[in-house]
Structure 1
Amino acid sequence: MKNILELLENSEKLYPDKTAVSDGKRTITYSRFKTAAMETGSYIASNFKFKRRPIAIYMEKSIETLISMMGTVYSGNFYVILDIKMPAERLSLITNNLEPELIITDGSHLSKSKEIFPETKIISIDAVPHNINNSLLSEIRNKTIDTDLLYVLYTSGSTGIPKGVAVSHKNVISYSKWVIDTFNINNETVFGNQTPFYFSMSVLDIYASLRTGAELCIIPQSLFSFPLELLKFIDENKINTIYWVPSALALVANWKAFDYCVPKTLKKVLFAGETMPMKQLNVWRKHLPGVLFANLFGPTEVTDICAYYILDRSFQDDESLPIGKPCDNCALELIPAEGDNTQTELCVRGSIVAMGYYNNPKKTAEAFVQNPNNTCYPEIIYKTGDLVELNDKGELIYLGRKDHQIKHMGYRIELGEIENAINSIPNVQASSCIYDEEQDKIAAFLQTDSEIKEIKKIVKEKLPKYMIPAKWVFLNKMFYNSNGKIDRNKLKNLYIKGEV
């Protein structure tokens, strides 16, 4: 297998009239889904002569988004999903790095797309003609190989510049094989999709479904503000498998929604993206005793996941879950962290390791390096920056980050990017951000003459909602250590002690 389109095409042959994607209101069969993707690919390839180039998709998460993704691949190019709620400044940073050849949008976002991307060609998915050029698509397919890019997904960058993780067909083919084998995903599976398509966790839902003929049910985002209605939606749509960020699971537990509705169809609950609080997970396990629960762990740079733990015992509310063992066809190298031989950094090798950072050779060279445990031939590993250890059961335990990157609300965030945005505001002399793991809050310390109202207004224009600090601390003078660097440890101690 060389191309992920083979996943779609194989499932379409087996289940042409089966629902491929639904959203609670609309459905599309595998036959129509493949046809629409081929129409989109034919239109792009016939009207634009570039190949192996980025095409950005700018619209709400929908059936049309998925058609645009697969249509892009049919055209011989790779896709990038853009968040329509992303501040213009961050969007500009991404597109400056990406330089997309084309923007795919829909009718409701066409005018806005023309304003935001005035120099880029734009097409509307709604206006794609119902024509398929089979000979052209075959010619394109015959020239593709499994290391061609499938997508680029942008993550937070420590310098304030987002990094585009370049993922190939080979990466996703290998990863999706592990997913379906490990969790017994098949044509009877109905995924309840929670994560945005610009988030790496969505790769599991989408490609495990395409590979097996499963149904991908897009859960309306609004339901995650109404836990009881969310649980009812799961039952009404016969969803039996979910892969959510822990904060979404915690919402259901915190609102005691299970006291009123316990989904009868749910069989598998997978989660990743941040630390799952055991207190809330125990609520889920209490009400769903026969359900499989699994803690998945990994960064975007390894396609999505490199380690996992299927819960096989009970845990107290104050205990932490292991991240378990490596995925199949994936090896985890435990290497002493730089400058600290007492801690071990998790590094990954295997077919799921991404190609590097798009248009960013410097950052790629820093994180995708030669395996220090192998000096005999070239072998690239990815340095995750995650500190781990083995427990007495041989399971990996996550200890934290070796840098200032955090996991918050399901997103991997560089605190440096938030600081960069704050420091760019006039009258801000210095700033530093810390993360309160216990409360799952970002706190910002800053030395400035500006008013808090003005600071917050500007930051909202620069950063996504999930990056905006929950607490703001104004200092007359920033604290520095003997090296002349901001004393982050002192700031965190002051915050924890409640002295600020």
Structure 2
Amino acid sequence: MNTSTVRNSLSTLLADTAAATPGATALREPGGDTTYRDLAALAGGIQTALAEAGVRPGDRVAVLAPQTAAAVAAVHAVLSAGAAYVPLDPASPPARWAAVCGMSTPRAVVGTRDALAKLTAELPHLATVDLEAPWPEAPLAPVEREAADLGAVLPTSGSTGVPKGVAISREALLAFASWMVDTFEVGADDVIAGFSPLHFDVSVFSLFGAALTGAALAPAPPQLAGFPHELASWADDAGITVWYSVPYPLARLGTLDAVVLEQRLGRLRCVCFAGEVFPHRQLATLMSKMPWVRYTNLYGPTETNVCTFEQVLAPPDEAIAIGSPACGAECWVERDGERVDTEGAVGELIVAGPTVADGYWGNEDETARRFRFGREYRSGRAYATGDQVRILPDGRYAYLGRQDHMVKIRGQRLELEEVESVLGTADGVTGCCVVAVTPPGRPALLCAAVVGDQLDHAALRSHCRGRLPSWAIPQRFLEVPAIPLTSTGKTDRQEVRRRVMAELV
């Protein structure tokens, strides 16, 4: 079934599903289930509160809450009101929230009471809507918008220390969710694991894929990711059938006995992973223990959501590819500004298609640097990913890594220059270089080489903690007399990595 022909508006998505299946479970949480009828009523109350706060069609509204029934209702309320949602990471410091709000200029912010108090201490004039207030139920009043109108601004790391906001149309959000639903045959009987916070683009599927089909969304308690027994028990209790997350929690599940996995995750039928490379040995172990599951590697930066995919049919004995175009995308490889299409050619992956974002909100220079617009591109726009790939014999792509200084830490994209910009303002620091390293058998670590006198590593970490999200804080500091340079005078990141690795061994 092509769901895009059934549901073609994010404004009416929740209202339509609630009308069609009012008693179906929309959210499955440890504290109890929420039906689509109740979710729509909660969203209606929030929409009324947004109108009272001055929100109008075309505005932006920040959402500051973990993925709960109230937060999901808030996102749908914002979209129903004709506005665009700007998700803030609840785990980030208030200064980071304020920076994202400064970039996206929301009309109001919806969030939990404590978080709102911290944010308004930074931005006292920002209108707020308290998700914990006893809002009276009210019917949703969808405001129709054009498909090309803004649907979301997803914050990403910015090299200047100021977050960038990826501007995604309503059409692009719905195109990705619809592709996921159609490709993986998601239906009303499914229970979708919600692992990703709202600011992470992986959440687009769990948010809108569930509402497209009337499936249930089960937000995963974030603290469970590293505890495989507890994670498996949660999945068993929730009845998870469809899983989409970064590789880490899946790799942790792979440490359990096959019998335990079959007992607790026997209903799981589909696993998709994205955000970072899944080490092939860990994936092979998981697949050998859960052979009944369909496994798929999804690839794409936030600016494209997902643009390629690779079905993994057997436990791999080498690194898996990122595959072929997905979501109606057109992909090609460029080297030195020219397209290359021969087997084995290496270059930057360029993507055009319906899920490609419109650019960076309020940042014309960065938009012009990374995006291209014109009728020659599918859906009128293309994005230069900055990722190096190799063309395989059958035309699929193998991922080789970044060509700039962007890395993935815990599945989150990070500009190393952003961390350096913050760390460079700490007391006593006269120079710094931040790198990501992956020690054997361990996840990626963010490490900083720093120059200065009498540096206090705890103070440096505290300085970063007040300005950066948790995953962007260096885990190790290495004091050096000077930052090493290449022969051209540029920072020698390769040498910094070598020194960091020598310290870790």
- Structure 2 length normalisation: TM-score? 0.91
2:106 is the counterpart of 1:100: yes
CA contact (8 A) 1:152 1:167 kept: yes
Q: Out of 448, 460, 469, which is 2:452 matched to? A: 448
Partner of 1:290: 292
Distance 2:427 2:438 in 1: 30
Following superposition of structure 1 onto structure 2, how do residues 306-325 of structure 1 map, counting pairs within 5 Å?
306-316=307-317, 319-325=318-324
Partner of 1:369: 372
Partner of 1:43: 49
Q: Which amino acid aligns with 1:217?
A: A
**Deviation of residue 169 (structure 1)?**
0.8
CA contact (8 A) 2:156 2:413 kept: yes
Q: Which amino acid aligns with 1:248?
A: P
Partner of 2:281: 279
Q: Which moved more, 1:125-134 or 1:160-169?
A: 125-134
2:488 is the counterpart of 1:483: yes
CA contact (8 A) 1:24 1:218 kept: no
CA contact (8 A) 1:232 1:261 kept: no
Distance 2:116 2:462 in 1: 27
Q: Out of 30, 35, 49, which is 1:24 matched to? A: 30
Distance 1:413 1:98 in 2: 19
Q: Which moved more, 1:445-454 or 1:321-330?
A: 445-454
2:12 is the counterpart of 1:6: yes
Distance 2:484 2:86 in 1: 40
Q: 1:460 to 1:348 in 2, by over 3 A?
A: same
- CA-to-aligned-CA distance 1:289-328 (integer Å, 9 cap, x gap): 11101100001111x2111011123312xx1111111114
Following superposition of structure 1 onto structure 2, how do residues 92-171 of structure 1 map, counting pairs within 5 Å?
92-127=98-133, 129-130=135-136, 132=138, 137=141, 140-141=143-144, 144-171=145-172
**Deviation of residue 190 (structure 1)?**
0.5
Distance 1:131 1:243 in 2: 32
Distance 1:193 1:164 in 2: 23
Computed over aligned residues only, the root mean square deviation of the Cα atoms, in angstroms, reads 2.4
- CA-to-aligned-CA distance 1:376-434 (integer Å, 9 cap, x gap): 99942101101111222332100100101011211111111111111111221111122
Distance 2:498 2:347 in 1: 25
Following superposition of structure 1 onto structure 2, how do residues 247-258 of structure 1 map, counting pairs within 5 Å?
247-254=248-255, 256=256, 258=258
Q: Out of 459, 467, 475, which is 1:462 matched to? A: 467
Distance 2:122 2:504 in 1: 44
Distance 1:399 1:208 in 2: 30
Distance 2:502 2:63 in 1: 46
Q: SS at 2:243's partner residue?
A: strand
Q: Out of 73, 76, 83, which is 1:70 matched to? A: 76
Distance 1:107 1:472 in 2: 35
- Name structure 1 gaps, 5 residues minimum: none
Q: Which amino acid aligns with 1:442?
A: L
**Deviation of residue 24 (structure 1)?**
2.1
Distance 1:64 1:419 in 2: 36
CA contact (8 A) 1:308 1:327 kept: yes
- CA-to-aligned-CA distance 1:418-451 (integer Å, 9 cap, x gap): 1111111122111112222454122211111122
Q: SS at 1:17's partner residue?
A: coil
Q: Which amino acid aligns with 2:329?
A: C
CA contact (8 A) 1:21 1:27 kept: yes
Q: Which amino acid aligns with 2:49?
A: Y
